[in-house]
A and B are shown apart, each in its own frame.
Chain A
Amino acid sequence: MKTNKIFISGDEAAAYGVKLCRPHVIAAYPITPQTITVERLSEMVEKGEMDGEYMHVESEHSAISVCMGASSVGARTFTASSSQGLLYMAEGLHYASGGRYPIVMMNANRSVALPWSIYGDHRDSLSLLDCGWIQVYVEDAQEALDMMIQAYRIAEHKDVLTPMMVNLDGFILTHTYELVEIPDQQKVDEFLPAFVTPNKMSFEEPKNLAFSSKPDDNTEFKYQQNQAVLKSIDVIKEVDQEFEATFGRKYHDMVEEYRCEDAEVVLVAIGSVCGTVRVVVDKLREEGMKVGLLKIRFMRPFPEQEVKDLAKRVKAIGVIDKDISFGYEGTVYTNVNSAISKVENYVYKSNFIGGLGGRDITKAEIEDMFHKLYAGLDKSREEKVEFFSLNVETNE
């Protein structure tokens, strides 16, 4: 099969993915490390390679509002942001999900001030888990491109109609280069039909959109919204299968298990660090340790069933969090733990918090995590939430 592979950054891969989806409107405000995506898209629009319109806005808050305005008349829309910009959008994110506008967004994961930092971690998007958006975390540039195409299929599905955020690690993915296959436009057109929604302003079916509610019906709106996000689990699986049949690549739906078949000890992670964990898993496997990786792809909806299935088979689960919910634990850990608590067998658990503000998570550190999980099995280590590789006195 003839393939069209080019050497591009993660940001550019996202832009190519978006272009193939033929959005009508793109509205974004530049923020490091998302900028290259919006620069490429504005270039494609100005060169006439895309039919859509690129709107320069004065802030992220306006960007999301433009996207809602466009979606409310039936236009396919895209925006991109990161960190402070994503947080500045937060009000609009809830509006968009509550309004059931299937906007697709690329978020370049970056730390949150203060201290101000342009480098990566997951504190931006994980602090917005409850904003009603579907959230996927990718591991490389190809997955970033492919998920843009899948995202529109998932978000625009008639039973879902929910916006979706494709997260890629700032700098680690956005600014590094990979050989990425650019799918054929015709195939994408066949895979992704034109956006059709009942949820739009129309003279044929006059209606109000984005209205107020009272205590007697607000819960019902939120119930239906929750049902739609839960329903997306089936759609995500359907779309990934069809994607594989069309493009020959699959992403294993909600999660990807790596060498977990007979694993005793498993590390759970999201995003690009999964690539490093794979390498460590291979090394420790060669040394005879039964270790594996669970790559969580979707944080919302959450892969509860997949985590439970794993928890029934393994003895220890460690969770890497590039975030901290202050006063408690890592957010990925909280979610994983909630699922594990629903199985009957005992699983030793630990939360490893680090990689904040762009600090690298090394193979040696990951290897150490696996050893700590083994130590938990022979009871020489308690279950705990720990910040790893700290350079300050902890007095713990």
Chain B
Amino acid sequence: MTATTEINKIINEDNLVYKKTNLLLDNEMHYCPGCTHGVIHKVIAEVIDEMDIQNETIGVSPVGCSVLAYNYIDIDWQEAAHGRAPALATATSRLMPEKYVFTYQGDGDLASIGCAEIIHACNRGENIVVFFVNNAIYGMTGGQMAPTTLEGQVTATTPYGRNTALNGHTMKITEMIALLPGTRYVTRQSAETPAAVRKLKKAVRKAFENTTEKKGLSFIEIVGTCSSGWKLTPTQSNEWMKENMFPFYQLGTLKDE
């Protein structure tokens, strides 16, 4: 038996254990090796596919690396000005209440320049889902300090490490958001192991399901990596994240009503 026929025997529907969701397009991703965006995109695409809501879902992309998310997940998308995704999503969701509307924002977009919009959208209890990807740095502009940067962390604008006396304290925006009465589900997840990805997927599913009950905003923080910004290899990045970010940004659900 030739090698080709052997392979053809293996490649058949009966043996299929895993398949890339059709919602994830075949465009080559621009994300750096080791970046968490790819996995998060996959999880969101899978959940939308499994819930069969592709034609009812509208994504609002931020300014930052994931501004190009529309190239990868096959749903309708729109872009907002830097930090304004929750305001834009508010309007879309109110005018099209039957749709699943979500924003996908980084820590520069959500925790820094867009801090006002996210707080107010959460406080109003908009019926949207917010994905907040936190890698403790401004990734797209080349690794400068963000509000989420850890104390002592070296960035392009804090070459000797973040000094909280000068640069302020590291911001736990998710904890702040959990205090707001308009939020219904607030959780912090990660995506560095298969187990973490499975947990993240459950959270994403729950958040989208909450949309149908119109009981307030669901907020998922995903602690992720930025190998390029951190100047580490993908493996080192995961290690650095586990050692430094997880103790400060503790994983788990803060609110589930």
Contact B79 A30 (CB under 8 A): no
Contact A58 B141 (CB under 8 A): no
Contact A42 B158 (CB under 8 A): yes
Q: Give CA–CA (A249, B215) in the complex, Å.
A: 67
**Stretch from B15-23, B142-150, B179-187, B206-214 forming part of the interface with A:** B142-150
**Stretch from A15-23, A32-40, A187-195 forming part of the interface with B:** A32-40
B170-228 residues with Cβ-Cβ distance < 8 A to A are none
Contact B156 A58 (CB under 8 A): no
Q: Mark A356-380, 1 if CB is under 8 A from B, else 0.
A: 0000000000000000000000000
Contact A84 B156 (CB under 8 A): no
Contact B79 A116 (CB under 8 A): yes
Interface residues of A: mostly helix, strand, loop or mixed? mixed
Q: Shortest distance in angstroms between A12's beta carbon and chain B's nearest beta carbon?
A: 13
Q: B67: nearest residue on chain A (CB-CB)?
A: A116
- Please, which residues of chain A bring their CB within 8 A of the CB of B63? 84, 116
- Please, which residues of chain B bring their CB within 8 A of the CB of A58? 112-113, 115, 147
Q: Mark A27-56, 1 if CB is under 8 A from B, else 0.
A: 001111001001100110011000001101
A43-75 residues with Cβ-Cβ distance < 8 A to B are 43, 46-47, 53-54, 56, 58-60
Q: Shortest distance in angstroms between A380's beta carbon and chain B's nearest beta carbon?
A: 45
Q: Give CA–CA (A11, B149) in the complex, Å.
A: 24
Residue B167 CB within 8 A of the other chain:
yes
Q: Mark B130-164, 1 if CB is under 8 A from A, else 0.
A: 00000000101110110100000000111110000
Chain A contact residue count (CB 8 A cutoff): 23
Q: Give CA–CA (A43, B83) in the complex, Å.
A: 27
Compute the total of residue contacts between A and B using a CB distance below 8 Å.
Answer: 59
- Please, which residues of chain A bring their CB within 8 A of the CB of B147? 58
Contact B157 A56 (CB under 8 A): yes
Q: A116: nearest residue on chain B (CB-CB)?
A: B79
Asked if A39 meets B112 with Cβ closer than 8 Å, knowing A56-B167, A88-B82, A114-B79, the reply is no
Q: Which of A43, A46, A84 contacts B81 (CB 8 A)?
A: A84
Q: A56: nearest residue on chain B (CB-CB)?
A: B167
Asked if A35 meets B141 with Cβ closer than 8 Å, knowing A59-B112, A59-B113, the reply is yes
Q: Give CA–CA (A292, B209) in the complex, Å.
A: 67
- Please, which residues of chain B bring their CB within 8 A of the CB of A35? 141-142, 144, 156
User: Can you report 30 residue pairs joining A to B where beta carbons are below 8 Å apart?
Assistant: A29-B112, A30-B138, A30-B142, A30-B144, A30-B156, A31-B141, A32-B140, A32-B142, A35-B141, A35-B144, A38-B144, A39-B144, A39-B157, A42-B156, A42-B157, A42-B158, A46-B158, A54-B157, A56-B158, A56-B167, A58-B113, A59-B112, A59-B113, A60-B113, A84-B63, A84-B82, A88-B81, A88-B113, A116-B67, A116-B79
In order of increasing CB-CB distance, the 8 nearest A-B pairs are A42-B157, A59-B113, A30-B141, A30-B144, A39-B156, A58-B112, A35-B141, A56-B167
